[in-house]
Amino acid sequence: MADAFDSPIDIDVETPAKALSGLAQMAAAVGVATLLLLLFNAHALAAWADGLAPGTRTEAINRAAQALLARTQARGLDAPRAVLNGKWEEAKALKWTGRWPGQPQDQRKKS
């Protein structure tokens, strides 16, 4: 039945020889995501390593995570996260006064 359907679009049914298989595409996507997370999320990796139970193996993991964090900070790769974190800390420090900024205070006397 599918062969009887005439499409106005020329669809090539054969997969080109150069195309990656589904497994290769998935592996490439996971590899790219891992690389991006290592570069732009080193602070979270270092925080995770700090929370591990002390030991010889975790000491090596912690040293590697801290070295990666230092390298990414030296290259400025943590700048977007640092700016966003700074804005978040500013927002947390704000206190609600019950009025909008620039709105005059209520001049009525309270009884």
Q: Tens of pLDDT along 40-84?
A: 999 999 999 999 999 999 999 999 999 999 999 999 999 999 999
Sorted by where each begins, the domain ranges of the chain are 35-91
- Tell me the C-alpha distance between 69 and 32, whole Å: 19
pLDDT in tens, 6-30: 777 777 667 666 777 889 999 999 9
Q: Determine the number of helices (DSSP H) and then strands (DSSP E) in the chain.
A: 4, 0
- Tell me the C-alpha distance between 80 and 90, whole Å: 16
- pLDDT at residue 47, rounded to an integer: 95
> Does this model's pTM top 0.85?
no
- pLDDT at residue 110, rounded to an integer: 58
DSSP 79: H
Q: How confident is the model at residue 35 (pLDDT cuts 50, 70, 90)?
A: very high
* One-letter amino acid for residue 33 of the chain: A
Q: Contact at 8 Å (CB) between 62 and 50?
A: yes
